[in-house]
Amino acid sequence: MDEHVNSMSNAYRKYVDATIAVLAEYNSATASGLRNEAIDLALEKFKEQHEHFLSTCDNAEVFIGTMTQQVRAQGVAHHNKAVAELVHIRPAFACPRERLCPLLKMQRELESDARYGDAADLSEEDDTAASTQTLTNLDLNKPSPR
């Protein structure tokens, strides 16, 4: 990186020197009233130094772009690894097995009743009351009886 900075600095210094030379020659030519070959040479050198400075800036820009991509790639990889180490996967809903089994059994019974009708031929009110009673008995917020 120091190499790119030094080359850009040198190119800029030469560019500024060429600019000063052009202005000095122009001022001397203006005073004498004639445009001479020295101004043409100074302008030619100025153009060369300008192109050299632009190419040096382009090279530095490419280098900076490459380094930026590498740093981003390393940062993303590091970030993903760090996040993966920090995130612990926890179940969204933890329910003890002794509570889950009766719930699943009741769900299967209700699905069966809904599909094929109630085997005990209870009236609709009795069926709803029985289902509500069963659901309140299996409240997940209450501690399980041991």
DSSP letters, 115-130, are HH--TT---HHHHHHH
Q: Would the pLDDT of 108 be above 90?
A: no
Rounded to whole angstroms, the Cα distance separating 39 from 94 reads: 86
Name the H helices within the chain: 2-32, 37-86, 97-116, 124-137
Average predicted confidence (pLDDT) for the chain = 75
Burial of 26 (0-12, 13-18, 19+ CB in 10 A): middle
∠ Cα 143 145 146 (to 5°): 120
Rounded to whole angstroms, the Cα distance separating 134 from 141 reads: 15
Q: Would the pLDDT of 19 be above 70?
A: yes
pTM: 0.47
For residue 23, give the nearest of 46, 52, 51 by alpha carbon.
Answer: 46
Please, are residues 50 and 19 in contact by the beta-carbon 8 Å criterion? no
Rounded to whole angstroms, the Cα distance separating 63 from 78 reads: 22
pLDDT per residue as tens digits for the range 26-75: 888 776 766 678 888 888 999 999 999 999 999 989 998 998 888 888 77
